[in-house]
Chain A
Amino acid sequence: MASVPSDLKYSRSHEWVRVEGDVATIGITDHAQAELGDIVYLDLPEVGRILQQDAQFGEVESVKAVSELFSPVGGEVVESNTGIADTTEVVNQDPFGGGWLIKVRIADTAELASLLDAADYEKFANEHGGH
C-alpha cells in the first residue's frame, strides 16, 4: 500500500505539504504517483509567482495522462524543483523526498487548517481510487 508519512498535511487533490517555519514544501503523494504511473514531464511555476490556495500551479504528465497540480496553500513560490526535469522518475521513486515540486512562502497559515492529516488522507485516498 501507498506510504502516507504522518508528519505531513494532505490535499484532496493528492498533494502533500511539509511546513517548516513559514515555508511549505509541496509535492504529490505516493498514492498519486502510483495512480499516474511513470512520470515523464513536469510543468512547474517560476519562482516569484503568487498562488492562491487551490490554484493550479503546474502539470504532471505520465504515460497515462496529464494531470493538473493544485497548491494546497496560497503564497509566493520561493523555489521550484526544476532540477528534476530530466529525471522525473524521482517523483515516482521518492515522492516525499527528492521528488518535491515547489516551495511556497505561506501567506496565511490559517489555510493549513483545511488540509487533511495522514489518517484522514489515507481514508480519503482509499475511497477515491483515481488521482
Chain B
Amino acid sequence: MPHQTIFEKSRRGRTGANLPECDVPRVDAAETLGAGALRTSLPLPEVSELDVVRHFTGLSHRNYSIDAGFYPLGSCTMKYNPKVNEKTAAMPGFAGLHPLQPEETAQGALQLIYELQSMLAEICGMDATTLQPSAGAHGELLAMMMVKAYHAERGEAHRNIVVIPDAAHGTNPASAARCNFKVKGIPGNDSGRTDIAALEKALDGNVAAFMLTNPNTVGLFESDIRRICELVHSVGGLVYCDGANMNAMLGLTRPGDMGFDVMHFNLHKTFSTPHGGGGPGCGAVSVKKILEPYLPTPHVVKSVVGDQATYTLDANRPQSIGRIHSFYGAFLLAVRAYTYIRTLGARGIREVGENAVLNANYIRARLADHYEVAFDNQVCMHEVVLSATRQKVQSGVRAMDISKRLMDYGLHPPTNYFPLIVPEALMIEPTETESKQTLDHFIDVMIKIAEEAKDNPELLKTAPHNTVVSRLDETYAVKNLDLRYEPIFTATE
C-alpha cells in the first residue's frame, strides 16, 4: 500500500481512540446551535493508531534533512544543529515559562536574552541587539522602519530612496518598499562586487540607506566595504548589512567595524537553530548607538545595585518603533543560539568562519575544471557559485538538470538560479560542519554528473530516476494551484 494518503487508508468505523462513556447529559447540537450550523459531512480519516504511526513514520523516512545527509543549499547555511541545543531548550525552567509570568520569577530567562543580545552585538561590532524579528526579512523590515524613524526625527523625512545592488536577496527591495521607500537598483562590477561608480551616481541627499549583503550573494567579500560605507555616510545615508552570510565572517571580521550601522542575523543559519518547516526563525537585529533608541519594545535591560543584577523588560522607550512580535520573539531559539555560542566560545566561533570558508574553497578548487565558476574562479567566502553554462552549450543540460541528478545520488541539490545575475547558477554552501570525506563524496558525484552531461545528457534531463517521485511538473503545479485536498470517500469496507 505505498503512497496512499491518510484519507485513502481510511475505513469506515475504524478508530484509534477508545473514549469512555459520556457521563454528562447529551445535548442535541442541532437544537443548541441551530440545524443550519451543523455540517452534514466531516470527512476525517478513520484509522487505527498503528495506521497513523506507520503513515507518518513512512512520510518521515522520505524526508531529507541535515541529519540524513549533505545539504549544500547556498545562502541557507544548512549547518548541523548540535543536539545539546535541544537539551537546553527543553529544560523545564525555559520550556515551561509563561510569557506573562512576573519578571522576578523569570530572571534566568531574561538574563539569557540580555546576554545573547550582548554577545551578538560583540560578534558583529555593534552596540545593541533585539531578538524580536521572526526571520531575516522581518529583521530587514525592522531595520528599514528604524532607518525611517531616524531620518524623520532629524527632520529629514524627505529621504525616500534605498539603494540596493541587483544581486541582492529579493527580500531587500521588498522590505524597503514595504516602508514606502523607493528602491534604486545598481549593477555590480566585473569582479562580482559593488560598482563604486554606480553607487556614487545613485547617492544623493534623498538616499535613506544602502542595503548590502556581505559577503555578497555571489559568495565574495566586498573588499571596498569601508569606502562604500564612507560614501553612503557622506550623503547622510545609513548602511544596512544583510547578515544572511554572517557565517563566513564569524570571529574574523565585524560589520560594525566596516562601517555598517545596522544588520540582521539569521539565528537559524549562523547560530544553529532549526530552520523549521518555514519557522519559527529569529532574525535578530543589531544596531549602532545612533539607532538604539528606535529598537522595538520591550527591550531587556540590566541594572546593577551593589552586587545584585536585575533584568527587566523595558517598555518605556519613547523613540521606539514599537512592538514587532508578540512577547519577546521566539525565546527557545534564543536558548539554542546561546547554547551554541557558549559551547563554542570565542575561539570556536572563529573556527566556524574559517572552516566554512575553507570548505567552500575546497569544493571550488576541485570542481573548477569541470564547471564554470562565476566571476573568474576567485577565492570565495563560505559559498561558491558555479554556472552550468558549459554544460548548457555542450549538450543543453541546465543547472536544474544537474540538481535533479544529484538527488539520484542521495544528495540535496544546491540553490538553483540564484543569484539572478549568474546564468545557470548552482550556489553551493557546504558549511563548516562537513568532513573532508563528505565534501569529497559530493565533489566526486558532481564530477561524475559533469561527465554524464557530456555522454548521456538525456539521463540528466529526465532525472531524478531513483527518488520516490520522478521530475515534478512545476509549470502545472504553479498554474493549477490547489492547496486543499478533498477526499473522495468510496471506502466502505
Which residues of A does B touch, CB under 8 Å? 35, 37-38, 40-41, 63-65, 88-89, 129-130
A-B pairs with lowest CB-CB distance, top 3: A129-B423, A38-B475, A40-B478
Docked Cα-Cα span, A103 to B41, in Å, equals: 52
If the complex has contacts A64-B417, A65-B417, A129-B389, are A35 and B423 also in contact, measured as CB distance less than 8 A? yes
Q: Are B421 and A130 in contact, with the CB atoms below 8 A?
A: yes
Closest residue of A by beta carbon distance from B417? A64
Q: Which of B442-485 contact A (CB under 8 A)?
A: 474-475, 478-479
Docked Cα-Cα span, A66 to B485, in Å, equals: 28
Q: Is B140 an interface residue (CB 8 A)?
A: no
B374 to chain A, nearest CB (A): 11
Docked Cα-Cα span, A64 to B417, in Å, equals: 7
Q: Are B420 and A65 in contact, with the CB atoms below 8 A?
A: yes
Which residues of the other chain, A, contact B400 by a CB distance below 8 angstroms? 37
Closest residue of A by beta carbon distance from B424? A129
Docked Cα-Cα span, A42 to B424, in Å, equals: 22
Docked Cα-Cα span, A129 to B420, in Å, equals: 11
Docked Cα-Cα span, A89 to B478, in Å, equals: 12
The A interface, classified by DSSP as helix, strand, loop or mixed, is loop
Which residues of the other chain, B, contact A63 by a CB distance below 8 angstroms? 474-475, 478
Which residues of the other chain, B, contact A130 by a CB distance below 8 angstroms? 420-423
Which residues of the other chain, B, contact A89 by a CB distance below 8 angstroms? 475
Closest residue of A by beta carbon distance from B479? A40
Q: 1/0 contact trace for B102-133 toward A, CB 8 Å?
A: 00000000000000000000000000000000
Which residues of the other chain, B, contact A129 by a CB distance below 8 angstroms? 389, 423-424
Which residues of the other chain, B, contact A88 by a CB distance below 8 angstroms? 479
Known: A65-B420, A130-B423. 16 other contacts (CB 8 A): A35-B423, A38-B475, A40-B475, A40-B478, A40-B479, A63-B474, A63-B475, A63-B478, A64-B416, A64-B417, A65-B417, A89-B475, A129-B424, A130-B420, A130-B421, A130-B422
Closest residue of B by beta carbon distance from A68? B185
Q: Are A38 and B474 in contact, with the CB atoms below 8 A?
A: yes
B173 to chain A, nearest CB (A): 11
Which residues of the other chain, B, contact A35 by a CB distance below 8 angstroms? 423
Which residues of the other chain, A, contact B422 by a CB distance below 8 angstroms? 130
Interface centre among A37, A38, A130 (most CB of B within 10 A): A130
A45 to chain B, nearest CB (A): 19
Which residues of the other chain, A, contact B421 by a CB distance below 8 angstroms? 130
A67 to chain B, nearest CB (A): 8
List 16 A-B residue pairs with CB atoms under 8 Å apart, sorted by A's residue number.
Answer: A35-B423, A38-B474, A38-B475, A40-B475, A40-B479, A41-B478, A63-B475, A64-B416, A64-B417, A89-B475, A129-B389, A129-B423, A129-B424, A130-B420, A130-B422, A130-B423
Docked Cα-Cα span, A63 to B416, in Å, equals: 11
Docked Cα-Cα span, A89 to B389, in Å, equals: 24
Closest residue of A by beta carbon distance from B422? A130
Closest residue of A by beta carbon distance from B185? A68
Which residues of the other chain, A, contact B475 by a CB distance below 8 angstroms? 38, 40, 63, 89
Docked Cα-Cα span, A19 to B422, in Å, equals: 32
Closest residue of A by beta carbon distance from B481? A40
B398 to chain A, nearest CB (A): 9
Closest residue of B by beta carbon distance from A66? B170
A5 to chain B, nearest CB (A): 22
A68 to chain B, nearest CB (A): 10
Which residues of the other chain, A, contact B474 by a CB distance below 8 angstroms? 38, 63
Which residues of the other chain, A, contact B479 by a CB distance below 8 angstroms? 40, 88
A88 to chain B, nearest CB (A): 8
Docked Cα-Cα span, A40 to B476, in Å, equals: 9
Docked Cα-Cα span, A38 to B421, in Å, equals: 19
Closest residue of B by beta carbon distance from A86? B479
B171 to chain A, nearest CB (A): 13
Which residues of the other chain, B, contact A64 by a CB distance below 8 angstroms? 416-417
Q: Which of B71-104 contact A (CB under 8 A)?
A: none
Docked Cα-Cα span, A65 to B420, in Å, equals: 8
A61 to chain B, nearest CB (A): 8
B421 to chain A, nearest CB (A): 7
B148 to chain A, nearest CB (A): 24
Docked Cα-Cα span, A82 to B422, in Å, equals: 31
